[in-house]
């Protein structure tokens, strides 16, 4: 095992795959000369050259479309958005072309493309730079959606995403690029669609993913001091979602809290809640609680932002609520 920053794990995954397959290239704003807006492609221009590490104009619709077209004709592009907020400019290419071309061509075309970049809030970046679109993309058939929470998962999942023959939305966080963690040395991958039991417990299940899962970790440590045993499941992949892992845990703990940084209406937590009550209703000893952001655009004010964003105190309250300890 080697300790890497999240950005280094991303860089390693892309570089290793590009060494093994010349059809893979990286394209996006500032990915080449500047080594990436978050330094996640550091050194790649020097190694692979400007034909495979390609700087673009500020034109997400344009370079997303180039990526989709080249994927249809034999390449395996990695398209980096500076944030997924800006992917809204190119979302027509993602939803109407990348996600649908395999079906609409009767299987004649695959679209092995990865769209990657940071998602959700990252401090005081205000409403248009603080949005989480995981549930939007997961709602569209034909797309896979991956949201790692640590360097090991980032590397293993990104390698699998690059090798996948379907379009993959790979969502990171500006606030995680400096996070450090142990990553296996040598060749390894993590399959898409398999959740991770991040912490084992017996009293309540918390399901989460991405950087917000750190708040679940903090809550679990605090609750352990009160002899409350929390099991934390990191989904890692939102689509396909590992329903089996969630159901197995709920059948053990009989209580469920879902933590997601997203607006509350029609999100991933809503889907999980419906699935659990449909398939494990008799195992539940309390109503499911989901924790999301406030139902407003993200505020710029640090005081309001702290109220808007879920935190470990919200998780502690939710756990105690399902345990009838409030």
The residues annotated as belonging to the active site are 60, 129
Paired strand residues for 231: 205
| Token digits of residue 276 | 């659990």
Give the N- to C-terminal CA distance of the chain in Å, as an integer: 42
| Token digits of residue 77 | 């592009």
Paired strand residues for 207: 233, 258
In contact, 268 and 230? CB cutoff 8 Å: no
Count CA within 13 A, CB hemisphere, residue 238: 31
Q: Give the C-alpha distances (Å, rounded to integers) separating 16 from 53, 117, 196, 275, 297.
A: 14, 19, 24, 38, 39
Q: Which of 189, 321, 178 is nearest to 255 (CA)?
A: 321
Q: What are phi and psi of 154, to 5 degrees?
A: -60, -45
What single string gives the DSSP state of each residue in 248-305?
Answer: HHHHHHS-EEEE-SS-SSS-HHHHHHHHHHHHSGGG-SS--EEE---SSPPPSSHHHH
Cis peptide bond N-terminal to 304, omega within 30: no
Residue 232, classed as helix, strand or coil, is: strand
Residues constituting the chain: 326
CA dist 146 and 168 (Å) reads 7
């Amino acid at each position: 095992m080697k300790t890497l920053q999240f950005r280094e794990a991303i860089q390693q995954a892309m570089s290793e795959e590009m060494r093994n397959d010349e059809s893979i290239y990286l394209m996006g704003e500032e990915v080449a000369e500047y080594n990436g807006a978050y330094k996640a492609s550091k050194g790649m221009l020097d190694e692979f050259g400007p034909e495979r590490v390609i700087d673009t104009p500020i034109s997400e619709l344009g370079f997303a479309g180039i990526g989709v077209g080249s994927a249809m004709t034999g390449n395996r592009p990695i398209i980096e958005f500076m944030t997924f907020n800006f992917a809204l400019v190119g979302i027509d290419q993602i939803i109407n072309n990348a996600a649908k071309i395999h079906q609409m061509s009767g299987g004649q075309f695959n679209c092995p493309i990865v769209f990657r970049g940071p998602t959700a809030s990252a401090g005081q970046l205000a409403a248009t730079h603080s949005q989480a679109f995981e549930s939007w993309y997961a709602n569209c058939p034909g797309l896979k959606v991956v949201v790692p929470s640590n360097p090991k998962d980032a590397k293993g999942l990104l390698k699998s995403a690059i090798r996948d023959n379907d379009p993959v939305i790979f969502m990171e966080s500006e606030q995680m690029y400096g996070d450090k963690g142990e990553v296996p040395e040598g060749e390894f991958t993590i399959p898409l669609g398999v959740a991770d039991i991040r912490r084992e417990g017996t009293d309540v299940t918390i399901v989460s993913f991405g950087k917000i899962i750190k708040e679940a970790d903090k809550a679990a440590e605090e609750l352990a001091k009160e002899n409350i045993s929390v099991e934390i499941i990191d989904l890692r992949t939102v689509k396909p979602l590992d329903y089996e892992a969630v159901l197995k845990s709920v059948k053990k703990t009989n209580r469920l809290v879902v933590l997601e940084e997203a607006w509350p209406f029609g999100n991933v937590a809503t889907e999980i809640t419906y699935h659990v009550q449909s398939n494990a209703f008799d195992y539940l000893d309390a109503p499911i609680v989901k924790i999301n952001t406030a139902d407003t655009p993200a505020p710029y004010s640090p005081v309001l932002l702290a109220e808007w964003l879920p935190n470990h105190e919200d998780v502690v309250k939710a756990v105690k609520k399902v345990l009838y300890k409030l």
